Chains A and B, each alone.
Chain A
Amino acid sequence: MKDIREDIAWAKINQDVLKSLEAPRKLYWVILFFALLAFGFGLGCEVYQYQTGMGVANLNNPQVWGLYIATFIFWIGMSHSGTLLSAILHLMHADWRKPIYRFAEAMTTFSLMTAGLFVMVHIGRLWMFYYALPYPNDRGIWPNFQSPLLWDAMAIFTYLSSSVLFLFVGMIPDLAIVRDNMHAGWRKKLYTLLALGWEGTDRQWRNFRVTYLTIACFLIPLAVSVHSIVASDFAMSQQPGWHVTSFPPYFVAGALYSGCAAIITLFIMLRYVFKFEEYMTLPILKKIVRLTFAIAMIWTYLNAVEFASVWYSHDAVSKDVLIQKMTGNYAPFWWGMIFCGSVVPLVFAFKRFQTNIPVLFATSLLLNLGMWLERWMIVAPTFSHGYYPWTWDHDQWPSMVQWGMVFGSFGWFTLLFLIFCKVFPSVSMYEVKEMVYHRTLHLKKSEAAEEGAH
């Protein structure tokens, strides 16, 4: 199993990564085409819903949120692992993060953008969405700062802007490389502009290091707070099945989980499509897989905690909701979530599967299916079986408009992500060089020490 070679020429690193901006495999265009189709379909659904009214989504009185909010949580969750991989591993000096953090951060950014779309398509009067923004106005009317939805908006804004900045700052040295090597044209102008005149001077590097570290330190608590706040949308409410103390850590664990699974999927895709075999190596994949396995087990544990505390709480209504999930109309999906979320990751425990690309690809998709089901199983059963028996509605089924937008969101995400990877270097060149450099130094040092010992 090959890791990144210590003696790889730095010029080759540049060359290989720069190639990804020019000539991906044909598969790239095929995926891009289907992503565009899916997005177009979702957009059509939204236009129809906007024109006609939210009723076409087949939402009704108890079931007011449906798939939109479930998928919103899914995308917010997916964004978390980019930060985990990038910021936490940066602080821990884990150098294996270096070849893969760039695309993980891009994933963070774009899944946040996708999540933002779901907030939009979900609200009844999209054309009035700006009422939720705290802008000064002569009527002195402000949004309600007590609402967890507003915390959400604020947290997502902070998270999105911070991770875009983090992504951008980390990319400046690479943009300078691209600027230096790009043939003349609009793209060269773009990179010249974005590189901000970076030349790798000592002053630039010195400030760069401190800045990068500082933002990484901010991003970690921020990421945790974002998903805790999303959990608060539910935990702060009064509804059975939502009003659960363990929701914030449960959501954060779920977020890291689905994010790691998505990183595995995208890792395998990028590795093939952009021919990054040399940098996205199997030892790195193995590390991510082990990390995912650990998080999967944490998630399983937190799930068990939630069920156990409901079961023994004597809160008859919450217990009813739990029983409803396990045995009612939603049972196939609920058990599907348990299977995909807690049983399938056991595959990762076996060494021979930890580097088996087809198995990992399929498994990571299944894990994310499980995590999507988890979010749906948080939202829908509580609506279907709340406090007030007369409004129980176990049969409501999301219409094609809802499914279309869920489907379309995957297209939108893939579209953004693929465009990013084609326009910007999705492997950090300067950091791969750093990684190689430090490994060489380390090798030299240990060789010297060995010689000294003789």
Chain B
Amino acid sequence: MSVSNLLENWAQVRHEHPINDKPHDPYKWAMAIDLDACTGCNACSVACYAENNLPVVGREKFQHGQQMHWMRVERYWDEDGREFPDQGFQFLPMMMCQQCEAAPCETVCPVAATNHTADGLNSQIYNRCIGSRYCSANCPFKVRYFNWYDYPTTDNVWPAEMTQQLNPDVSVRGKGVMEKCTFCVQRLSAAKVVAKGEGRIVREGEVQTACQQACPTGAISFGNLVNPESRVHKQWEAQQVVLDKDKQEKDEKEERAVLRGYRILEELRAYPSVMYLERVRESAV
């Protein structure tokens, strides 16, 4: 009976996350992206398309803003009047779902199709989604992508010769559901199963996301934030970025060129799991 369940677990059902709460254990997947190392080559985005069976919508739908790139490489031109504005591009994040600890998208979904998982991911259940798109409306980063058409049956999304390259570990989404970056949850699950069989937790370096794997400059690091051995943990600590804070207290004495870590739109208190390392620019040095 659910009411007795409610009363028995009262403390548990009333506890809040992530503020004043213990971190996820034993896993909290997180990422750090060094924008200074990024060359803007788009390899991460391409790898994501291949790994996650993303539909290639084509020119016309792209022009309507209906593209499905879970990971997008953004460029901003400088508007200081220089002759070639693209010389002054400033900011080049690989933008994908930030896997927020307190995700704005989760609370608003009417059917509970998007939830916070035990290892700190923001999950999306395609089968449960009815396509109200409220999650996208409430996402400050706008990193959720909706299946505006039934891509598996649309011509030229996956031409016949390419159906063999679809990843069998990832479902192909039909029309009318929302999707987004999952931190390659299929890889994480597989690694966790292997580790569990051997009675341990997933080791650092044992699992990589597709984008991380494809990045030629190693700008992306991914791992278990609660594991003190992990590169992500070390990077977050070195940059003095704390997961459950909406304003980071940084050491004033350190040079700006050293403390480059930040999270996007932190003040909205979504507590993203992705830290970016600012690009070192002329003006900052």
Query: What per-residue 1/0 map shows which CB atoms of A128-163 lie under 8 Å from chain B?
Result: 110110000000111110111110010000000000
Quick check: B130 and A131 within 8 Å, CB to CB? yes
Q: How far is the CA of A53 from the CA of B132 in the complex (A)?
A: 13
B262 at the interface (CB under 8 A from A): no
Q: Which residues of A contact B (CB under 8 A)?
A: 52-55, 58-65, 122-126, 128-129, 131-132, 140-144, 146-150, 153, 233, 236-239, 383, 386-391, 393, 396
Given the complex, which residues of A lie within 8 Å of B110, measured CB to CB?
132, 143-144, 147, 149-150, 153
Q: Select from chain A the residue with minimum beta-carbon distance to B75.
A: A390
A387 to B139 Cα, complex, angstroms: 9
Residue B104 lies at the interface, judged by CB distance under 8 Å to chain A: yes
Q: What 17 additional pairs, Cβ within 8 angstroms, besides A52-B149, A238-B104?
A: A53-B175, A59-B148, A60-B148, A61-B142, A62-B142, A123-B176, A124-B132, A124-B133, A124-B146, A124-B175, A124-B178, A131-B128, A132-B130, A143-B110, A144-B110, A383-B137, A396-B65
Contact A147 B134 (CB under 8 A): yes
User: Nearest 10 A-B pairs (CB), nearest first?
Assistant: A124-B131, A60-B65, A55-B148, A124-B176, A144-B112, A125-B176, A53-B149, A64-B133, A391-B142, A149-B110
Q: Is B64 an interface residue (CB 8 A)?
A: yes
CA distance A441 to B182 in the complex (A): 75
When the two chains form their complex, are residues A148 and B108 in contact, meaning their CB atoms are under 8 A apart?
yes
Say yes or no: A124 contacts B140, CB within 8 Å.
no
Contact A125 B130, beta carbon cutoff 8 Å = yes
Q: A61-B67, A124-B131, A387-B268 are in contact. Are A142 and B138 (CB under 8 A)?
A: no
Check B176 against A54 for contact (C-beta < 8 Å).
Answer: yes
Whether B111 lies near A144 (C-beta < 8 A) is: yes
- Known A55-B61, A237-B138; contact A149-B108, beta-carbon cutoff 8 A: yes
A65, A123, A140, A387: the one within 8 Å of B130 (CB): A123
22 contacts between A and B (CB under 8 A): A53-B149, A54-B131, A54-B148, A55-B64, A59-B148, A64-B133, A64-B137, A125-B130, A125-B131, A125-B176, A125-B177, A131-B128, A132-B110, A142-B112, A149-B108, A149-B132, A150-B110, A387-B140, A390-B72, A390-B74, A393-B65, A396-B65
Q: Which residues from chain B contact A129 at a C-beta distance below 8 Å?
A: 130
Docked Cα-Cα span, A140 to B108, in Å, equals 20
User: Is A128 in contact with B65, judged by CB distance below 8 angstroms?
Assistant: no
Which chain A residues lie closer than 8 Å to B178 at the CB level? Answer: 124
User: Inside 8 A of B129's CB, which chain A residues have their CB?
Assistant: 124-125
Distance (Å) between the CB of B198 and the closest chain A CB? 32
CA distance A62 to B179 in the complex (A): 14
In the bound complex, what is the Cα–Cα distance between A58 and B61 (angstroms)?
9
Give A61 to B147 CA distance when docked, in angstroms: 10
Tell me the minimal C-beta distance from B251 to chain A in angstroms: 28
Alpha-carbon distance between A152 and B176 when the two chains are bound, in angstroms: 21
**Cα distance, A129 to B111, chains bound together (Å):** 9
B137 cross-chain contacts in A, Cβ below 8 A: 64-65, 237, 239, 383
Q: Which of B148, B150, B175 has the most CB of A within 10 A?
A: B148
Chain B nearest CB from A45 CB (Å) reads: 16
Q: A residues within 8 A CB of B145?
A: 61
Distance in angstroms between the alpha carbons of A236 and B141 in the assembled complex = 17
Within 8 A of A (CB), among B67-111: 67, 72, 74, 76, 95, 104, 107-111
| CB closest chain-B residue, reference A387 | B140
With an 8 A cutoff between CB atoms, is B136 at the interface?
A: yes
User: Are A60 and B130 in touch, CB under 8 angstroms?
Assistant: no
Instruction: Tell me which residues across on chain A come within 8 A of B65, comparing CB atoms.
Output: 60-63, 393, 396
Contacts A52-B149, A54-B146 known; A123 to B132 CB distance under 8 Å?
A: yes
